[in-house]
Amino acid sequence: MSISSAATYARDVRVTWWYTVASILSLQVFALVIWAAVVVRDAPPLAIALYVVGAVGATASAVLLLLRYRREPLDDGDVGATHPVWPLVVAGVVFGAVTGAAVGSLMLAVALAAQALCLVRWRNGIRLRLATLLIVVILATWVVDATRVNPGGYVAAFFGLALFIAMLPPLSATSLWWWDIVRELDRARRAEGRLAAAQERLRLAGDLHDLQGHHLQVIALQLELAEKMMGRDPEAAAGQVRAARTSVDEARRGTRDLAARFRGVPLPDELANAADLLRAAGLTVDLLVDGAAGGAPADVLGPVVRESTTNVLKHGRGGSASLSLARHEGAWVLTVENDARGAASPVGDGAGLSGIADRVGAVGGTMDATRLGDRFRLTVHVPEGVTA
């Protein structure tokens, strides 16, 4: 998955959640309004007041249950909401009972109570069995209310009025079930990104260990041999010292080549790794990358991305950050912004920003670091086509 598509996917996950919440709450409010327009308008003032209190309370309970549902862990190993859910469920049931009692409808009370139960994250197949049971109970109370309203037994006369309330719990349960699937897919996508970053770090560590281990072992043997030969054959010992110095130069060149390979990582991958690192530290990260970012000067901007990420981790104390790379008027513009509330020191103080300014200035670029209230923003402009 490309970086731009990954960022789009993460944004779509958030949008999916808010669409889910909006659809559930819209259907509940619409059903209560329809019920009020048909039944409550001719009721006594006390019944109207009780209906309004019950309807507002049931809707507020649904909002709080949905907010808690979003924060709840998907499994026992996750960290999520810690407050118990049952007080909110009990509040939803009580307000549903008040709403139904205000208009004398058993079905309305049962449907609103079922709605509160369907907004709980049930496990191990309980959700499906509960939703099926609640549908049966709602249909039974539907028949009871319909025959009470029309003693002749014409259930169809009650159909239009009760339809929206009857649909509410099963549709809510289905919507949240689909949301859980989307959330699982998103978690798998993020886990894949973290695994790829970890594999790259392990590969680099292995290459560095093999390279330095080989050269250091050779240098140690050469110096040990030179020490033993120092008294018997000084010229041969000097030759071993020269050979050790040659090995040092080879190790230095190998390390430089390895670092060049690391710097040669495409800039979109650099930004993705930086975003994964910040998310692993607990920040909410927005990542926006131009579709042509593969052609950006990675040897110039790659170290800037790493240094700015370090600054955010070291100095920032907020909960959010954003990284963006875009092409504008013949230059690549890298913007790193984070929430700096509660930072112990001004964000980015020290040699980090000076090093970034020197690096981009050497290729004709510019750097701007600004703190605006609780936000710190680093903006780097680098001309297209430059190299370090």
Q: Three-state SS across the chain?
A: CCHHHHHHHHHHHHHHHHHHHHHHHHHHHHHHHHHHHHCHHHCCHHHHHHHHHHHHHHHHHHHHHHHHHHHCCCCCCCCCCCCCCHHHHHHHHHHHHHHHHHHCCHHHHHHHHHHHHHCCCCCCCHHHHHHHHHHHHHHHHHHHHHHHHCCCCCHHHHHHHHHHHHHHHHHHHHHHHHHHHHHHHHHHHHHHHHHHHHHHHHHHHHHHHHHHHHHHHHHHHHHHHHHHHCCCCHHHHHHHHHHHHHHHHHHHHHHHHHHHHHHCCCHHHHHHHHHHHHHHCCCEEEEEECCCHHHCCHHHHHHHHHHHHHHHHHHCCCCEEEEEEEEECCEEEEEEEEECCCCCCCCCCCHHHHHHHHHHHCCCCEEEEEEECCEEEEEEEEECCCCC
Identify the CATH assignment for 191-263 out of 1.20.5, 3.30.70, 1.10.3470, 3.30.460. Answer: 1.20.5
Placement of tokens 């909110």 in the chain: 88
- Is the distance from CB of 358 to CB of 336 less than 8 angstroms? no
Measured between alpha carbons, how far is 316 from 133 in angstroms, rounded to an integer? 50
Query: Closest by alpha carbon to 149, among 139, 138, 136, 162?
Result: 162
267-383, superfamily in CATH?
Histidine kinase-like ATPase, C-terminal domain (3.30.565.10)
pLDDT for 150 equals 55
For the chain, domain boundaries: 3-189, 191-263, 267-383
The overall pTM is greater than 0.75: no
pLDDT for 62 equals 92
pLDDT for 345 equals 47
- Determine how many CB atoms are found less than 10 A away from the CB of residue 249: 10
If the chain, 388 residues long, is cut into consecutive pieces of 10 residues, what is the mean pLDDT of each piece? 49 80 90 80 82 92 89 53 77 91 86 90 78 85 72 52 79 87 80 73 75 79 84 84 84 75 71 82 83 79 85 74 86 87 51 79 87 85 75
